[in-house]
Structure 1
Amino acid sequence: MSAEQALEDAAARIAALEIRLAALEDDKAIRELLARYGHYADACLDDEYLALFTADCVMDVSSGAAPEPYEVIRWEGLDTMREFLAVRTAAHGDGFYGRSMHAQGNNLTIRVDGATAVANGYSFILHQDGPRIRLVSASVNEWHFVKVDGTWLIKERRRRMLGAPDTATILRASE
């Protein structure tokens, strides 16, 4: 092998490693973003929580499951996300802050395509209710992300309670 060919081979290997490294860094950044999502929600860090989203973000969540009363509620944009936080506070009062745990399942699947990504997985919300810990929510999630100036942000979250009619569709979004 000539010196020139050895340099070309080394350059090709380095380029391939850079692509693999970028993919691993994107995956890690998205997983950390989702960890911060729950942490900020539980630690009463509303400004930090909202900073995880794009200005035109969407939060699309269900309550109930078929055949029970089933409803999908959407908030679009950061101003309505502030309303979402107000609804959460109205529903749970101040007792929710510091007494809840938002946990993302470790079965998260992520597909990155350039500056966009889709992730699917389970999430749970636990809440201290007196001496008991109770399950508030068990749901499936479809997350859409965009990379803005090198930082991953949440563009859209679709959350469905277990048993919702579109649960399987939500879980297949990253395929």
Structure 2
Amino acid sequence: MKTYFDLSDEAEKKLNKIMQFVEGSQRQLLNIIGSVLTQEINVCFVSARDPWGTAWKPLKVRKGQPLRDKGHLKASINYQVYPDYVEIGSGVGAGTNLKYAPYHQFGFSRNVEAHTKDIYFKLNRDGTVGHRFVKKSKSDFAQSVNVKAHTIVVSARPFLPINQEKQVVMPQSWNQAIIHNIRNFIEGGL
């Protein structure tokens, strides 16, 4: 059994006003969502945690925080609004177009066979060999070394709310931030 209730004239006018405002503000609402998503992704880089709050594995090779050596990955995070996307309707996508991003998001391992490699150094002023590697073009001393077979392992350090099965799993706190910002926008526009 369904029961229909009539809204008061005042409530109906307010509801219509809200619906018209939201309908006319679709692109702005999508921009708000995109902005919140990029902010939340950037928090992952600053806090060295995945979107669900788990700390990233610490670095083994260098000091500092993971994924923040030069800042290229963090700086590449952006969003795109799709106001009339045919297959899904309106929406917003957030992420990066850097080719190496999936290796950090999901992790990877690669076996490297034993091989010989040239390494390059810059001589010190006193003629001794420096201890820092340099590019071949900047070197004045080269040495061949034997590299043993080994496995390169990069730990997964998720910064996007995508799980190992490549499904979006939005954290509750991110949903709440989006709702909060949309609510503020609507209240400010009415």
TM-score, with structure 2 as normaliser: 0.32
User: Which structure dedicates a bigger proportion of its chain to strand?
Assistant: 1
Higher RCO (CA < 8 A, seq sep 6+): 2
Q: What TM-score comes out, normalization by structure 1 length?
A: 0.34
